[in-house]
């Protein structure tokens, strides 16, 4: 392995999307990585991305990038329906892989990719970057150290904006079968943060609904039918016996962000954000005994990246790249791998099944 891990980004749009917002600036600023290849479906955009972020090579065919001897690892930062085939190609090319969440359209796709990564012996990380947010990591550290005592109950609420209108480049998300919706993405990220901090969810009773059954497609001025859910309510039981209440919705206007609370026999922890846990910017508060909630300072040891890492969307992704790089080099590291992704896929399946069947579901049986 060279001193710098030579990274290629598949889906490296220079103007739109999660690669532009997070992965490209994160890799460009990450210690131990070189942004070597930028790949899009058109050479002009690939070259523009390479120019903006300093990649040495541009590709309009990801197969050519994967075949290049100077690419050590690749990130798959594309629409969810493409994750399975492209991630499979990355693994079969013998490259380490960072695939955005959700890992696949279905749990079966995720299971197959996890098994293939183990078989081929490559490092595989999934973009559940809430686990790399310093405030979330410290929240877990405090819970593990007994700050709240025995966990009794948890509350998770995340309300985001924007379900009445989309341009045609985003209305594909209306189809639940394509795997990118409020349940899989918004709820997936926030529920993963909760289970990371408080413990695995073993039983769920859920209501998953589509409150807005049509979207206005702004550039075509058409109304399009929606099957993707936009509101998720879950009553859950954790493996430690605690109960949890979860409400995640995408609403038309003025979303209030995320609040995650852990209540125990000794104290309370509360994390809040105007956005979501995976993007960052969380305020952590705590109280023990009869005291009021006060802000808790986040220790420096939860920050892995340098001061050069941009704040906002790139920060937690940069944190993930730090741990990914350590894993590739065989150093001690901690990051959500494809097996972690499969666990979350299974949990979301249980939530969906509980809603469909109108009954409580044991997650292990889903």
pLDDT in tens, 213-247: 999 999 999 999 999 999 999 999 999 999 999 99
pLDDT attached to residue 1? 59
**Is the pLDDT assigned to residue 80 strictly greater than 90?**
yes
**Is the pLDDT assigned to residue 45 strictly greater than 80?**
yes
pLDDT attached to residue 63? 98
283 vs 9: CA distance, rounded Å: 31
Could you give the C-alpha distances from 47 to 169, 182, 205, 247, in angstroms and in order?
A: 22, 33, 49, 42
Q: Which domains does the chain have, with CATH numbers?
A: 5-130+318-338 (3.40.50.720), 142-288+343-365 (3.30.360.10)
pLDDT attached to residue 161? 86
Could you give the C-alpha distances from 301 to 88, 133, 154, 173, 290, in angstroms and in order?
A: 35, 12, 26, 38, 29
Q: How many CB atoms lie within 10 A of CB 293?
A: 14
Q: Are 232 and 351 in contact (CB under 8 A)?
A: yes
Query: What average pLDDT does the structure give for the chain?
Result: 96
Residue linked to tokens 């509101």:
231
Q: How many CB atoms lie within 10 A of CB 32?
A: 15
147 vs 185: CA distance, rounded Å: 30
Tell me the Cα Rg of the chain: 20
**What's the pLDDT tens digit per position in 28-40?**
999 999 999 999 9
pLDDT attached to residue 208? 98
78 vs 9: CA distance, rounded Å: 10
Residue 68 three-state SS: coil
The single-letter DSSP state of residue 141 is H
pLDDT attached to residue 241? 97
**What's the pLDDT tens digit per position in 246-290?**
999 999 988 999 999 999 999 999 999 998 888 878 999 999 998
Q: Are 278 and 129 in contact (CB under 8 A)?
A: yes
Q: Are 236 and 204 in contact (CB under 8 A)?
A: yes
**84-111: average pLDDT:** 98
Helix, strand, coil distribution of the chain in percent, nearest 5? 40, 30, 35
What is the strand order of the sheet 214-217 is part of? 165-166, 214-217, 222-225
Confidence class for position 313, pLDDT limits 50, 70, 90: very high
């Amino acid at each position: 392995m060279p001193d710098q891990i030579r990274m290629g980004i598949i889906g490296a749009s220079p103007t739109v999307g999660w690669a532009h917002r997070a992965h490209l600036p994160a890799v460009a600023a990450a210690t131990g990585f070189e942004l070597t290849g930028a790949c899009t479906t058109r050479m002009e955009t690939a070259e523009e991305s390479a120019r903006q972020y300093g990649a040495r090579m541009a590709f309009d065919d990801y197969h050519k990038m994967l075949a290049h001897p100077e690419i050590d690892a690749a990130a798959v930062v594309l629409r969810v329906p493409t994750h399975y085939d492209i991630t499979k190609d990355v693994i079969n090319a013998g490259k380490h892989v960072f695939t955005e969440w959700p890992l696949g359209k279905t749990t079966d796709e995720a299971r197959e990719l996890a098994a293939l990564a183990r078989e081929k012996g490559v490092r595989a990380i999934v973009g559940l970057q809430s686990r790399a947010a310093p405030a979330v990591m410290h929240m877990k550290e405090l819970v593990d150290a007994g700050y709240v005592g025995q966990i009794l109950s948890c509350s998770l609420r995340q309300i985001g904006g924007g379900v009445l209108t989309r341009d045609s480049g985003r209305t594909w998300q209306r189809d639940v079968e394509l795997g990118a919706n409020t349940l899989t993405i918004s709820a997936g990220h926030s529920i993963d943060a909760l289970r990371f901090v408080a413990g695995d969810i073993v039983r769920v009773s859920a209501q998953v609904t589509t409150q807005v059954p049509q979207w206005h497609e702004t550039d075509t001025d058409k109304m399009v039918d929606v099957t993707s859910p936009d509101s998720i309510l879950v009553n859950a039981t954790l493996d430690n016996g605690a109960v949890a209440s979860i409400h995640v919705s995408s609403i038309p206007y003025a979303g209030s962000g995320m609040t995650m609370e852990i209540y125990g026999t000794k104290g309370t922890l509360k994390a809040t954000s105007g956005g979501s846990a995976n993007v960052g910017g969380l305020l952590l508060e705590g109280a023990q005994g009869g005291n009021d909630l006060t802000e808790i300072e986040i220790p420096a040891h939860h920050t892995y990246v340098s001061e050069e890492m941009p704040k906002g969307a790139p920060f937690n992704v940069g944190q993930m790249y730090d741990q990914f790089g350590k894993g590739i080099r065989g150093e001690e590291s901690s990051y959500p791998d494809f097996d972690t992704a499969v666990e979350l896929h299974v949990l979301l399946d249980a939530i969906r099944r509980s809603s469909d069947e109108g009954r409580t579901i044991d997650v292990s049986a889903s």
